[in-house]
Structure 1
Amino acid sequence: MKSLIVLQVLALSLAAAAMVAESAAASPPDRRCTCRNRDGTKYELGQTACIRVGGISYMARCEMNLNVTTWKKVRDGCPTADMTLGAVPVL
């Protein structure tokens, strides 16, 4: 009988711990947490930027990793605007 009560208390404790962990994971990120680009520009969590390192450019997203902000590579290259001579209207 005592072991049944102990198991019930243990099950309730585990369920409560799981609910606390889930609510902590779902909480919004702290606004004070930002990433910085090489030029000093601040980016909030979730924002993307073109990062240039050692002559290589890529798109990266500001993310949290073990309570530290970091840039996570999203894709190679950065978007650029390209205007060809044929697209310029002749006046």
Structure 2
Amino acid sequence: MKGLSILRVLALSAAAAAMVAGSVSASPPDRRCACRNRDGARYELGQVACIRVGGTSYLARCEMNLNVMTWKKLRDGCPTAEIAPVSVPAY
């Protein structure tokens, strides 16, 4: 069971890294363009964040749509990592 938990953590970490790497654009974003989260945090064009609205959370990317900065929903839920405690056998 421990091996399965470690594999799940590694898979989630790899998936999150792939999503972040895939959101990097070839040209640098305009510094004036940014999205804001409900807590007031600033996100540059192309950055990914976990958005929580009314008890629901989803992964979204900051994008521009018709000259307006907006959040584009990528998938339901947000990636999480969980590390199970490791027990050391007593000698």
Q: Trace 1:1-91 onto structure 2 (pairs within 5 A).
A: 29-84=29-84, 87-90=85-88
Read off the aligned partner of 1:78 and give its amino acid letter. C
Q: Which residue of 1 aligns with 2:22?
A: none
Q: Which has the greater radius of gyration?
A: 1
Q: Which runs of 4+ in 1 moved over 4 A?
A: none
Unmatched runs of 5 consecutive residues or more in structure 2:
1-26
Measure, in 1, the Cα distance between the counterparts of 2:45 and 2:87. Answer: 41
TM-score (norm 1): 0.61
Identical aligned residues as a percent: 78
Secondary structure of 1:52's aligned partner: strand
Q: Which residue of 2 aligns with 1:14?
A: none
Tell me by how many angstroms 1:81 deviates. Answer: 1.9
> Could you say which structure has the higher helix fraction?
1
- Root mean square deviation of aligned Cα: 2.1
- More contact order relative to length (CA 8 Å, sep ≥ 6): 2
TM-score (norm 2): 0.61
Tell me by how many angstroms 1:88 deviates. Answer: 2.2
